[in-house]
């Protein structure tokens, strides 16, 4: 029998510890941003986790993902010229291959499904 405590993925996604990641220095446009993440669970081949990036500007090539911003402030610019302003509560769908530039003004934390 699975107990309720065994189902808990995080007691507080806003402060849940993350593992430091690495950015390719060629993708850093401005500042000295750093990234961190933690996988919380999987659903088949789909990953559910937390991701965070500190202030700065970076380029990225996206994977299929849906995310909800938990905290922070940023703008994502897409190669087609469109932009999204990100803040707490914003939900976004990214598509594999999207080329983006993330301008992070305040450390951004999100929960993602990818």
Q: Return d(Cα 20, Cα 67) in angstroms, integer.
A: 19
Average pLDDT, the chain: 97
What is the structure's pLDDT at 1? 75
Answer CATH for 4-113 from 2.60.40.10, 3.30.70.120, 3.40.50.920, 2.60.120.10: 2.60.120.10
What is the structure's pLDDT at 6? 83
Q: Give the pTM.
A: 0.94
Q: What is the mean pLDDT of residues 67-90?
A: 98
Please, are residues 63 and 96 in contact by the beta-carbon 8 Å criterion? yes
What is the structure's pLDDT at 3? 84
Q: Return d(Cα 80, Cα 26) in angstroms, integer.
A: 21
3-state secondary structure of 22: coil
As separate numbers, helices (DSSP H) first and strands (DSSP E) second, the chain gives 1, 9
What is the structure's pLDDT at 2? 74
| Tens digits of residue pLDDT in 7-38 | 999 999 999 999 999 999 999 999 999 999 99
Domain boundaries, the chain: 4-113
């Amino acid at each position: 029998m699975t107990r309720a405590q065994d189902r808990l993925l995080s007691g507080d996604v806003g402060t849940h510890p993350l593992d430091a990641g690495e950015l390719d220095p060629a993708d850093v446009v401005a500042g000295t941003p750093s990234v961190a993440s933690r996988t919380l669970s999987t659903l088949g081949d789909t990953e559910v986790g937390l991701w965070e990036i500190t202030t700065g500007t970076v380029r990225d090539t996206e994977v299929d993902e849906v995310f909800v911003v938990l905290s922070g402030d940023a703008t994502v610019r897409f190669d087609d010229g469109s932009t999204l302003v990100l803040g707490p509560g914003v939900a976004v769908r990214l598509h594999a291959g999207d080329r983006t530039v993330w301008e992070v003004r305040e450390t951004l934390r999100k929960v993602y499904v990818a």
